[in-house]
Chains A and B, each alone.
Chain A
Amino acid sequence: MSAAGDIGRRLGSIPVVRRTLAVLLVATVVAVVGPALSPHTAIDADFDRILEPPSLSGGHWFGTDQLGRDLFVRTLEGLRTTLLVAVVSSAVSLVIGVAYGLVAGFAGGRLDAVMMRFVDALYALPFIFFVILLMVVFERSFLLIFIAIGAVNWLDMARIVRGQTLSLKQRDFVAAAKLVGVPTPRILLRHIAPNLLGVVLVYLTLTIPQVILVESFLSFLGLGVQAPATSLGTLVAGGVGPLESAPWVLLLPSAVLFVVLLCFNFLGDGLRDAVDVRLGRRDTP
């Protein structure tokens, strides 16, 4: 557990990580409680106030969309969906990737070779096409989106975990545990997994923006979440139409999506610096 504490300390010392975490925390809180505080709801249409530009005094901070709905609340709802999909889908990829990598790395030998060959083969798939097909074939639900997106993004995680496991396996404390007859699952759980925490955390953070991109990409193609639920990708797609007459319908949700992605990317970078000293602040001569 000292590894985790160590990482935590180092994280705290990186301003970028502190700041992005703060922004993401605020964004999450606003996305979760914001809609409840607003006088508007995400589905209340006002047919007399269609495509109103943003104004603070008019009550619609982000303006209204093609149905006269408050774009601010809709953006928050979209943000909530996007964050939810990001977290759950990343978790799916985390579980698959870590389990797969652990097994392959710890087993080694022929099983490892076969499993890694399989990963290599999967890398060659035009995944996005499969995701599109999946969304076309099955009735759309949050569950399917989580699974489809998570299932696409576990390959990197599996490779990293496998590599780490391979090297950890040869370390003395694992060898010692083996010698005294600690059962394999216990070794994996007690000795290997905790030491993977850092690297897994980094890759998880790096996976999140990927997942957000895939989700919004699907939504953009009209294959994402069901209306009237919305995600940032859906909002962006809906904004392309009235681009000329009402650019805010595109610009504001895009800006929020951008900030979220930016935060996760900075966070991933910062975490990598904290965990991987080799890539740390060495660029200072």
Chain B
Amino acid sequence: MLAFTLRRLLAAIPTLFLVVLGAFLLVRAAPGGPFDEERVLPAELEANLLAAYHLDEPLPTQFLRYVGGVLTGDFGPSYGYRDYTVGQLIAQAFPLSLMIGGLAMLLALALGISAGAVAALRPNTALDRGVMALSMTGISIPVFVIAPLLVLAFGVSLDWLPVGWSGSGGISRLVLPVVALALPQVAHIARLTRAGLIEVLESDYIRTARAQGLPTSTLLLVHAARPALVPVLSYLGPAIAGILTGSVVIEQVFGIPGLGQFFVNGALNRDYTLVLGIVVFYATLIVLLNLAVDILYATLDPRIRLT
């Protein structure tokens, strides 16, 4: 296990290097610069600005400077938020994104697994069909449709929940973004749980156990749960990616100052370091999460060997 973890971490290094290089080239290929706007800066002023941020150096030098900085944990200064470094901005925005994404993930797992299990236990009943129809609906509604619809229904028409991000909204302000973010994932997880559980329930060892007269609850919880959850686990990687993508939209719709907002604004304003920092940060996060998922995977399903 340790060897596996180490090997995976080592393998991540070239990946991350490619990420940095690709993102660096892309942001620098974009027309315009961080200090361009309609009001043209006098040439000497612009030169001073570029020099202050080393943007007047040749690109390879800048790249090496950047990589060197990242290796020592320094993501550089932000051009758009000039009192802060990128590291500080990420540190400020990430907890919010993490909270909303994490809550959405937990909600998706809790709801999805329960719904999938309920459906699997009563296959082809009205209940099953109902759950599956709902989950099919969930998969087919994009996050950016759900979010405004939820706002319209619960925020505006019913006026139950705050519609925007507010400094004082407390728990209630989290409800709509978290639910909107979780719903498509609930649907996916419910479908996977149902499929996995049905397959397990029809396997020989469960049939044997059932023939021996074990009660359904024991069957389900003792023998079926672990293998049935394996497909769900393997979906965690894509789910994380889905929530990450969704959070960009959710933060936009609800005005949440998370990393997604920083990224989109940074890309539009050519805040090179901020954009790069967020890409590198998220890539690292995804690598680590995927590794964690793989390890969990092996723990749940003994048939899988980590090699």
Contact = CB atoms under 8 A, between A and B. Distances in A.
A21 interface: no
Nearest to A156: B238
A220 B251 CA distance: 13
Interface of A: 117, 120-121, 123-130, 132-134, 136-137, 209, 213, 216-217, 220-221, 233, 236-237, 239-240, 243-244, 247, 250-251, 254, 257-258, 261-262, 265-266, 279, 282-285
B245 A240 contact: no
A264 to B, nearest CB: 8
B233 to A, nearest CB: 16
Given A127-B241, A236-B148, A247-B152, 4 more contacts: A126-B241, A128-B244, A216-B142, A216-B144
The interface residues of chain A, by DSSP majority, are classed as: helix
Contacts of A244: 152, 156
A28 B294 CA distance: 42
A128 B248 contact: yes
Q: Which of B14, B124, B145, B202 has the most CB of A within 10 A?
A: B145
Contact of A129 (B137, B252, B282, B287): B282
Interface in B78-117: none
A217 B264 contact: no
A258 B282 contact: no
Given A123-B290, A128-B248, A257-B142, A133 B137 contact: no
A236 B145 contact: yes
Nearest to A132: B267
Q: Which bucket holds chain B's interface residue count?
A: 35 or more
Which of A133, A250, A282 neighbours the largest number of chain B CB atoms within 10 Å of its CB? A133
B27 A265 contact: no
Given A129-B279, A220-B249, A284 B144 contact: no
Q: Closest 8 CB pairs between A and B?
A: A261-B140, A121-B15, A262-B140, A126-B282, A133-B26, A137-B30, A128-B245, A220-B144
Given A126-B286, A221-B248, A279-B195, A265 B145 contact: no
B69 interface: no
Given A262-B136, A283-B198, A250 B275 contact: no
Contacts of A285: 123, 202
B82 to A, nearest CB: 21
Contacts of B31: 137
